[in-house]
């Protein structure tokens, strides 16, 4: 189970790096990646001061979050996994931030559904397949500018970019590339860095680290 000391330790590490890096973002959000975690683990994380959570699947999120959000309405929920166009409406209803726009069709579906929903503050990020890996989702780096522009033109509030770099290489250069794409498009948010590479992420300018294992424990996920 998540502990206060763990959250404090990670926040201190992040602050240290932030204070010593030229590229660091003015603020870094700690997002708890809660896929596979039950309600009890999530409530424990909230008790430790975590206020931002990320889920990978719309259906799993719909099963556990509505009742938690009733009690903790200030929690900010991000979708950090792939989204199918037929789930766009459900995703818009539940999530505050959708980090995984990766194709024009999805941006169009979101824009068309959003028009039918009551207004709510929402943010969107473009997921970039920064290592051009066939098994990963995300727009190719060279096609990112076009997708960003197109998504903005549809009226979606695009605030940043998200990536999951290849596991077999050092992440620094990939984070640097994501940062470069964000900068040239005037986007200020960078969702980059997970349990194994969040300190590098912060050093390279991450504004949001998505942490699962370091927070909840290696083997804490339900099957
Ligand atoms: C699971 C997941 C994370 C957290 O990964 P850890 O290595 O457990 O920290 C972050 N981002 C995405 C997109 C994930 O699916």
**Does ligand 1 come within 6 angstroms of the Cβ of 195?**
yes
Range 152-156, long-range pairs (CB < 8 A, 24+ positions): 154/107, 154/108, 154/110, 154/111, 155/111, 155/114, 156/101, 156/107, 156/110, 156/111, 156/114, 156/122, 156/124
Q: Tokens standing for 219?
A: 């083997």
Say how many Å lie between the CA of residue 211 and the centre of ligand 1: 6
0.85 surpassed by pTM: yes
- Distance separating alpha carbons of residues 167 and 201, to the nearest angstrom: 14
User: Which of 210, 219, 222 for mutating ligand 1's site (highest number of atoms within 8 Å of CB)?
Assistant: 210
Q: Which atom of ligand 1 is nearest to the CA of 80?
A: 13
Query: Alpha-carbon distance 118 to 168, whole Å?
Result: 44
**80 CB near ligand 1 (under 6 Å):** yes
- Tell me the pLDDT tens digit for each residue of 168-214: 999 999 999 999 999 999 999 999 999 999 999 999 999 999 999 99
Nearest residue (CA) to ligand 1, atom 7: 195
Q: Give 223's pLDDT tier (boundaries 50, 70, 90).
A: low
Closest residue to atom 11 of ligand 1, CA basis: 210
């Amino acid at each position: 189970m998540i502990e206060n000391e763990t959250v404090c330790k990670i926040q201190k590490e992040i602050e240290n790096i932030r204070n010593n890096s030229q590229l660091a973002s003015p603020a870094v959000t700690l997002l708890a990646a809660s896929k596979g975690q039950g309600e009890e683990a999530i409530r424990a994380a909230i008790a430790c001061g975590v206020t931002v959570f990320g889920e990978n699947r719309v259906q799993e999120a719909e099963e556990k979050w509505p009742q938690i959000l009733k009690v903790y309405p200030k929690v900010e929920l991000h979708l950090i996994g792939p989204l199918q166009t037929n789930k766009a409406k459900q995703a818009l209803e539940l999530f505050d931030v959708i980090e995984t726009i990766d194709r024009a069709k999805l941006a169009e579906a979101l824009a068309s559904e959003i028009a039918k929903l009551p207004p709510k503050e929402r943010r969107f990020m473009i997921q970039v397949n920064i290592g051009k890996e066939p098994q990963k989702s995300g727009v190719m780096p060279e096609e990112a500018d076009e997708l960003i522009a197109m998504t903005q033109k549809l009226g979606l509030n695009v605030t940043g970019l998200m990536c999951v770099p290849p596991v077999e290489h050092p992440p620094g250069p990939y984070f640097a590339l994501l940062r470069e794409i964000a900068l040239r498009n005037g986007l200020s948010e960078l969702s980059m860095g997970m349990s194994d590479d969040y300190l590098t992420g912060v050093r390279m300018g991450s504004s949001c680290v998505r942490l699962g294992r370091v927070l909840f424990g290696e083997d804490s996920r339900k099957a």
